[in-house]
Chains A and B, each alone.
Chain A
Amino acid sequence: MLEVTGLSKRFGGLAALDELWLEVAAGEIRGIIGPNGAGKTTLFNVISGTYRPTAGSIKFEGREIGGLGPSRIAELGVIRTFQRVALFGKYSVLENVMVGRHRHAREGLWGAIVGSGRRIEAANRDRAREIVDFIGLGAARDEPARNLPYGHQRALGVAIALAAEPRLLMLDEPVAGMNSAETLEMANLIRRIRERWGVTVLLVEHDMRTVMGLCEKITVLDFGKKLAEGAPREISENKDVIEAYLGADEFVA
């Protein structure tokens, strides 16, 4: 589904990504891990169109997407979440998710003026409500997003991405800053999403327990290059990987 070939991204003299090769099959849950500065978020940013690749190619479902703008890539079904809390703060939970459905619910100026989009809007609202309930935020449906506790805000971020009906869902550190209960909830959510919709998931995470438990295959990055790739068990026993992480907080298999 996703084919990354010889991908490089340089910022001045610094190579954040250095001839990276990566292939993700449809329906996989793939983990991307690596020490800080390894290039994980840069990889996301290049795939999602925030940055242009310096060299190499990115093919999504056979189609070259390297260098396209972020909204164009999203339109093709590649939806990403953000490491930071990314929300439409003033809007309610439901309204946030409704914006997420933009790919499937749009209206031109004329439609807006004469009000012809009413039926699309109603269907849109229903679909958004389904997603809000699925995520588990049904009770807070009309609550302004900025009033939610942190864990719920992150879940909302995933809900917004889900509303876009992604074919490839890229989650950027979804459990960052969460306690163990919230982390478990999020991991379960991701599993349920894959079960229900068969979405392909690309996951960047530092929390090893989550990555090992969730992902079928893991790619390890270091200094912008691929260090290792394989099943969680192989990765946790890989000497190079352990060395790269030496000095980091924890590495629990």
Chain B
Amino acid sequence: MGKALGLAALTAALCVAPFVVREYYVEILILLLINAILAVSYRLITTTGDWSLGHVVLMGVGAYATALIAKLLGWSFWASLPLAGFGAAAVGFVFVYPLLRTRGFGFFIGSFALAELLRLVWIKFHDPFGGPRGMIGIPPVSVGSYQFYDAIPYYFLTLAIVALSVWIMYRIDKAVLVGNVMKAVYMDEALAQSVGVNAPKYRTIAFTVGAFFAGIAGALLAHRLGAIDPHNFDINTMVYLIIWVVVGGTATFWGPLIGLVVMTAVFEATRPLLEWRPLLFGGILIAFLIFLPGGIESLLAKIPPLVERLRRPRLGRRTL
């Protein structure tokens, strides 16, 4: 009951927000929504215990795919969006296949190596990727003769796509026969395999689906910015993604989103700090890893039992 109410309130807030804030903040919100797909899709991959350093590059695959399709083929966004997703999923499949032999740190570094290899391909080849300067002049999304150029319409377009994407990933996570199996692979892979769970298959599914939605995020980003370059998808951005999931926590579905929202707010609030910001963010990451490795969601999980204890009368003390 409380959940439905919360969700309704959130939806209402999201629909009203763009009208009550300045245009600058609408752009921030659009970016927040795009990053939401990125965070949730990353978390899906970590569900089976694989920590990837290549997720942001997969977003780049979606971005470049949609840019190339729009500029070279002239196809509409409604074709290039799913193709961006499937393209990223295909690249994700190619990445994860050799990585299945690795776990933990090996997977981490291996995924970074493969992703960086791809990113260097974008930097190296001026034709068709535009080299270091990337691609510009990506046409806006259009439906018939209407163009999604202004912030507010694009916000709602993004909101719709993000809501659908997050819902799909939520369903996969919650499905006892799929999501639970993935988490079982993480908790005890040998045990899971001993009852017939094909661990490599589930790791591949998690990675490929995560890659698909990273591609979707990339497509949305490309059409908003109108221009993309390889630096949009470098290790800096990847570290921010890691910060969101560490700060928020990955044990629950909503953890990474909490981390994303909190860190985006901190990011905006600390703009005056200029070049001190990376230092601050690094410090926050380290602080969380040491003092609160479970993330903010682990704090939130402590609230219900705490409330229970406060409600109960104290033992040994009589009240008149």
Q: Does B162 contact A (CB under 8 A)?
A: no
Q: Would you call B191 and A71 a contact (CB within 8 A)?
A: no
Contact among A79, A107, A113, A121 with B195 in the assembled complex (CB-CB below 8 Å): A79
Distance to closest chain A CB from B169 (angstroms): 9
Q: Would you call B190 and A91 a contact (CB within 8 A)?
A: no
Q: Does A90 contact B (CB under 8 A)?
A: yes
Complexed CA–CA distance, A12 and B70 (Å): 57
Chain B residues positioned under 8 Å from A121 (CB to CB): 176-177
Chain A residues positioned under 8 Å from B184 (CB to CB): 88, 91, 99
Q: Does A161 contact B (CB under 8 A)?
A: yes
Q: Would you call A50 and B177 a contact (CB within 8 A)?
A: no
Q: Would you call A164 and B196 a contact (CB within 8 A)?
A: yes
Q: Does A80 contact B (CB under 8 A)?
A: yes
Residue count of chain A within 8 Å CB distance of chain B:
44
Residue count of chain B within 8 Å CB distance of chain A:
26
Complexed CA–CA distance, A74 and B171 (Å): 28
Count A/B pairs, Cβ under 8 Å: 106
Q: Would you call B192 and A82 a contact (CB within 8 A)?
A: no
Given contacts A107-B175, A124-B177, contact A82 B190 (CB under 8 A): yes
Q: Would you call A109 and B178 a contact (CB within 8 A)?
A: yes
Task: Tell me the residues in window 50-102 of chain B with beta carbons closer than 8 Å to chain A beta carbons.
Answer: none
Contact among B168, B177, B193 with A113 in the assembled complex (CB-CB below 8 Å): B168
Residues of B within 8 A of A (CB): 168, 171-172, 175-181, 183-184, 187-188, 190-199, 205, 209
A sample of 30 inter-chain contacts (CB < 8 A) reads: A49-B193, A69-B198, A71-B193, A74-B193, A74-B194, A75-B196, A82-B191, A86-B190, A86-B191, A86-B194, A88-B183, A88-B184, A89-B187, A91-B184, A99-B180, A101-B195, A102-B196, A105-B177, A106-B177, A111-B177, A112-B171, A112-B175, A113-B172, A117-B177, A120-B177, A121-B177, A124-B177, A160-B195, A161-B195, A164-B196
